[in-house]
Amino acid sequence: MKIATWNVNSIRARLPVVLKWLQESQVDVLAMQETKTVDETFPTAEFRAAGYEVAVSGQKTYNGVAVASRVPLSKIVRGWAGNDPSRVLTVNVGELTLIDGYFPHGGERGDEAYVHKLEFFHNFRTYLDNTYSRDCRLLLMGDFNVAREPQDVWAPDEMQDAIGFMQEERDALEELRAWGFVDLFRRFHSEQQFTWWDYRMNMFKRNMGMRIDYAWGSEALATEVTDCLVDVEPRRWEKPSDHTPVVVMIP
DNA sequence: ATGGTTGTGCAACAA
């Protein structure tokens, strides 16, 4: 089975690209972020025609998460602990629990949104502590909006004060990971690999990006995963998202 | 310091 995450930056703007990639990649389950639409206008029929059922949890204009799957989904939960239904969507796929997360961007240091971002990470860790045991087969994936390590950004020395790579953010990310997650891409690959490149300044062509999209598995799940990769191809296509998918392989 | 680009939705704001 292949399970992927992709910040699509508007599902209505990105539908042709997403359907093309599903066809080519033969992914079974796709967790999407920044769908940017209410559930009534999510292109559910188009996904169904392609063989995928969807679970959606969106809102107007901003945020929005959704899972498309060609295997049955169950136990669909929008939001977490009563919060943020446009940022977190949990589904069961067979015997594994998939959490699709779109973590706050944060604006810049000092912003109210930045404080909220740090609190979100801390509170989400507490939520996991209260909700899941360490032996769960848990897969947390999505756009976390924080790069882990210097090799996960294109200019670590110049980015100490850049959103997504500030020490406080990295500490918050690590606190969440320390719940017991394995960073699945890093488990299999030591090379530098970004998942997001700004649309501006030809950042993609110059490969100036950040690794901010992750698939994290609990120990119990991680032992079953055979590979995790970043598929850069759809970032090269016409009208791309500024993010590209991360794919997990499970036998 | 600012700007550059894309999306939503039609002016700004978010990223």
Instruction: Provide the pLDDT for residue A171.
Output: 98
Instruction: Provide the pLDDT for residue A117.
Output: 98
3-state secondary structure of A40: helix
Q: Which nucleotides of B are covered by protein (CB under 7 A)?
A: 3-9, 14-15
Task: Considering only CA atoms, name the residue closest to the C1' of nucleotide B8.
Answer: A61
What's the CA–C1' distance between A61 and B8, in Å? 6
Of the pLDDT bands very low, low, confident and very high (cuts 50, 70, 90), residue A98 is very high
Instruction: Provide the pLDDT for residue A182.
Output: 98
pTM of the model: 0.98
Instruction: Provide the pLDDT for residue A176.
Output: 98
Task: Considering only CA atoms, name the residue closest to the C1' of nucleotide B14.
Answer: A62
Q: Which two tokens stand for residue A102?
A: 């779109």
Instruction: Provide the pLDDT for residue A206.
Output: 97
Of the pLDDT bands very low, low, confident and very high (cuts 50, 70, 90), residue A156 is very high
Q: Which nucleotide is nearest to A196 (CA to C1')?
A: B15
Instruction: Provide the pLDDT for residue A118.
Output: 98
Of the pLDDT bands very low, low, confident and very high (cuts 50, 70, 90), residue A81 is very high
Mean pLDDT of chain A: 98
What's the CA–C1' distance between A224 and B8, in Å? 40
Q: What is the pLDDT of residues A29-60, one digit of tens each?
A: 999 999 999 999 999 999 999 999 999 999 99
Q: Which nucleotide is nearest to A145 (CA to C1')?
A: B15
Residue A13, CA distances (Å) to A36, A37, A248 in order: 10, 10, 25
Q: Which nucleotide is nearest to A36 (CA to C1')?
A: B8
Instruction: Provide the pLDDT for residue A38.
Output: 98
A33 exposure class (CB count in 10 Å sphere: 0-12, 13-18, 19+): buried
Paired residues of A111 in beta bridges:
none
Give the rounded percent of residues in chain A with a pLDDT score beyond 70: 100
Q: Which domains does chain A have, with CATH numbers?
A: 2-249 (3.60.10.10)
Q: What CA–CA distance (Å, rounded) separates A164 from A195? A: 13
Q: What is the pLDDT of residues A164-188, one digit of tens each?
A: 999 999 999 999 999 999 999 999 9
Q: What CA–CA distance (Å, rounded) separates A240 from A198? A: 11
Q: What CA–CA distance (Å, rounded) separates A32 from A163? A: 22
Q: What is the pLDDT of residues A7-31, one digit of tens each?
A: 999 999 999 999 999 999 999 999 9
Q: What CA–CA distance (Å, rounded) separates A161 from A142? A: 23
What's the CA–C1' distance between A62 and B14, in Å? 8
